């Protein structure tokens, strides 16, 4: 990978719908050369996929929460399986430190958050402790580096 590949990746991160023609003008390469570089980045696993960033609030998802979770060791496989299956969980991170896992939860309102926490998450076997924080606003959120 060289500086041109890095610039192509930056342009695609800013706009996943950018055409090879648009990118070629910004990196001073021909359209076929840009297309070939993108193909190699795809095939090499550098680009894992393309996605759309949705406006959560316009879709009715107005509450973002972070939930720290401690799980009994023998229940970790079942917890992991459940965590990735929950629709409300948009990120799940295994952590070092006081808590075992960090879940990023997206729901419509506090009622849905309560239903998720009390009715689904805490109902899982082996949940020892949770700590929930509500996100008031997001100053920066960048999914890909």
Q: Are residues 61 and 123 in the same domain?
A: yes
Q: Is the pLDDT of residue 142 over 80?
A: no
Structural domains counted in the chain: 2
For all residues of the chain together, what is the average pLDDT? 94
CB atoms within 10 A of CB 85: 8
Q: Is the pLDDT of residue 55 over 90?
A: no
Q: Are residues 131 and 74 in the same domain?
A: yes
The span from the CA of 136 to the CA of 64, in Å, is 8
- pTM of the predicted structure, to 2 decimals: 0.80
Q: Quote the domain boundaries for residue 102.
A: 57-135
Q: Is the pLDDT of residue 43 over 80?
A: yes
Would you say residue 23 lies in a domain? yes
Looking up residue 19, the CATH number of its domain turns out to be 1.10.10.10
Span 120-138, average pLDDT: 96
Would you say residue 9 lies in a domain? yes
* Dihedral sign computed on CA atoms, order 38, 42, 46, 50: positive
Q: Which two tokens stand for residue 24?
A: 């070629």
Looking up residue 86, the CATH number of its domain turns out to be 3.30.70.920
């Amino acid at each position: 990978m060289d500086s041109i590949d890095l610039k192509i990746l930056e342009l695609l991160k800013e706009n996943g719908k950018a055409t090879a023609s648009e990118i070629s003008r910004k990196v001073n390469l021909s359209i076929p050369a840009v297309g070939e570089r993108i193909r190699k980045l795809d095939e090499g696993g550098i680009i894992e996929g393309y996605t759309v960033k949705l406006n959560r609030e316009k879709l009715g998802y107005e509450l973002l929460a972070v939930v720290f979770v401690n799980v009994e060791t023998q229940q970790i496989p079942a917890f992991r399986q459940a965590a990735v299956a929950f629709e409300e969980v948009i990120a799940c991170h295994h952590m070092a430190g006081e808590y075992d896992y960090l879940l990023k939860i997206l729901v419509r309102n506090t009622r849905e958050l309560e239903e998720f926490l009390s009715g689904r998450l805490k109902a899982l076997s082996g949940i020892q402790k949770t700590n929930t924080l509500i996100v008031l606003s997001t100053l920066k959120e960048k999914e890909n580096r």
